[in-house]
Amino acid sequence: MASLGPVHNDRVTEPKTYGDGVAVVVVTYSPGETLQRFLDTLDDATERTVEVVLADNGSVDGAPEKAAERDHVRLVPTGGNLGYGGAVNAGVATLGDEVGWIVVANPDLEWNAGAIDALLDAARRRPRGGAFGPLISDPDGTVYPSARLLPSLGRGVGHALLGRVWPGNPWSRAYRQETAEPRERTAEWLSGSCQLLRREAFDSVGGFDARYFMYFEDVDLGDRLGRLGWLNVYVPSASVMHIGGQATSQASARMLKAHHDSAYRYLADRHRGLAWKPLLALIRLGLAVRLRIETRGAQRPSSLRER
């Protein structure tokens, strides 16, 4: 029987009471022109006035500074490159108690009209909802599988080792929930590229686990929310479009390695003890082989953090 492993909750605090305010936390790392389009379309995503926090991991292109000249947009330098989850945590830490809803989003998205309001409507219908994710599509209309099952040992290994070379394998299809119709439903985790978080729920698990520099921080968050009784809810009546960014365009090999390291960490965290060591060693070896193959001829991984 698989060991569930510890829930990472070092920073869990006593429950606080928050207001009904909404803030959007965006992690930036030289996002280029995509950030301006993100902010332009954000105006149509909600009728409410929202605070935008740019948690900046060391941009050198000037885009976050330019964006911060807008009303209600605030630049928060993280002091280095904390990774995705660490930067989100740093941005959230600057919010006042009037903010009870946190939208976490990549800067390379375009918002469809009413997207945030639709997420908030779903949140009001589901008081045990901790995270709410929209439908995410590419410019050609392809829907990204952003509401998935957790990668159990079987699904996780099958998808990790075969997902690139045999995309239609049964483990990947089950994990990605590609056959599921786009209807409002619960999921086991939601893509961190865009989701609405109930701040009370976010606090209850101590936020993102900053040990995940990039990739799987959203899988881990969804798992920990679920273990505490919160729901991860897919809300396709809200939608955004992934327009593509440039943050990882010069770091393909490094991002691939980060993906594989995070995949191993996720499984190792949940399968502790001597009995699991041989299997984990085989998983690490398989991931290393996959990394070598992908690094040779791979294009950069999607900035939507495809996995």
CATH at 168: 3.90.550.10
Beta bridge partners of 232: 131, 187
Cα 266 to Cα 7, 52, 185, distances in angstroms: 11, 30, 24
Report if residue 99 sits inside a domain. yes
The tokens describing 91, both together, are: 């941005």
Whether residue 153 is found in the same domain as residue 270: no
Confidence band of 175 (pLDDT split at 50, 70, 90):
low
State the helix-helix crossing angle for 217-227 and 252-270, rounded to 10 degrees.
20
Q: Find the helix or strand (DSSP H, E) in which 52 lies.
A: strand 51-56
Whether residue 128 is found in the same domain as residue 264: no
Whether residue 153 is found in the same domain as residue 208: yes
pLDDT tens readout for residues 250-295: 457 777 777 777 787 888 888 788 877 777 777 777 777 676 776 6
Give 136's contacts (C-beta < 8 A, 6+ positions apart): 109, 143, 144, 146, 191, 193, 194, 239, 240, 241, 242, 304
Please say whether the beta carbons of 299 and 252 come within 8 A: yes
Please say whether the beta carbons of 51 and 74 come within 8 A: yes
Report if residue 9 sits inside a domain. no
Report if residue 306 sits inside a domain. no
User: How far apart (Å, rounded) are the C-alpha atoms in residues 201 and 88?
Assistant: 15
Last residue of a domain, which of 242, 260, 288? 242
The tokens describing 39, both together, are: 């902010």
Q: What is the number of structural domains in the chain?
A: 2
Whether residue 272 is found in the same domain as residue 151: no
Whether residue 262 is found in the same domain as residue 221: no
The tokens describing 109, both together, are: 């998205």
Chain centroid to CA 208: how far? Answer: 9
Report if residue 304 sits inside a domain. no
User: How far apart (Å, rounded) are the C-alpha atoms in residues 222 and 150?
Assistant: 8
What is the predicted pLDDT for the residue at 259? 74
Examine the pLDDT at 163 and tell me if it is beyond 60.
no
Report if residue 76 sits inside a domain. yes
Q: Find the helix or strand (DSSP H, E) in which 241 lies.
A: strand 231-242
- More confident position, 193 or 246: 193
pLDDT tens readout for residues 82-126: 999 999 999 999 999 999 999 999 999 999 999 999 999 999 999
Range of the domain at 28: 21-242
DSSP string, 128-139: TEEEEEEEEE-T
Report if residue 89 sits inside a domain. yes
Whether residue 266 is found in the same domain as residue 236: no
Report if residue 124 sits inside a domain. yes
The upper half-sphere exposure of residue 4, i.e. CA atoms within 13 Å in the direction of its Cβ, equals 7
Please say whether the beta carbons of 12 and 204 come within 8 A: yes
- More confident position, 298 or 292: 292
The tokens describing 8, both together, are: 């990472």
Other CB atoms closer than 10 Å to residue 174's CB: what's the count? 18
The share of the chain scoring above pLDDT 90, in percent, equals: 63
What is the predicted pLDDT for the residue at 248? 46
Whether residue 271 is found in the same domain as residue 167: no
Whether residue 54 is found in the same domain as residue 104: yes
* Sign of torsion over alpha carbons 288, 293, 295, 296: positive
User: How far apart (Å, rounded) are the C-alpha atoms in residues 92 and 109?
Assistant: 20
DSSP string, 189-208: EE-TTEEEEEHHHHHHTTSS
Please say whether the beta carbons of 74 and 54 come within 8 A: yes
Whether residue 162 is found in the same domain as residue 37: yes
Examine the pLDDT at 4 and tell me if it is beyond 50.
no
pLDDT tens readout for residues 122-147: 999 999 999 999 999 999 999 999 99
Whether residue 235 is found in the same domain as residue 261: no
**What average pLDDT does the segment 164-184 reach?**
63
Report if residue 257 sits inside a domain. yes
Whether residue 281 is found in the same domain as residue 135: no
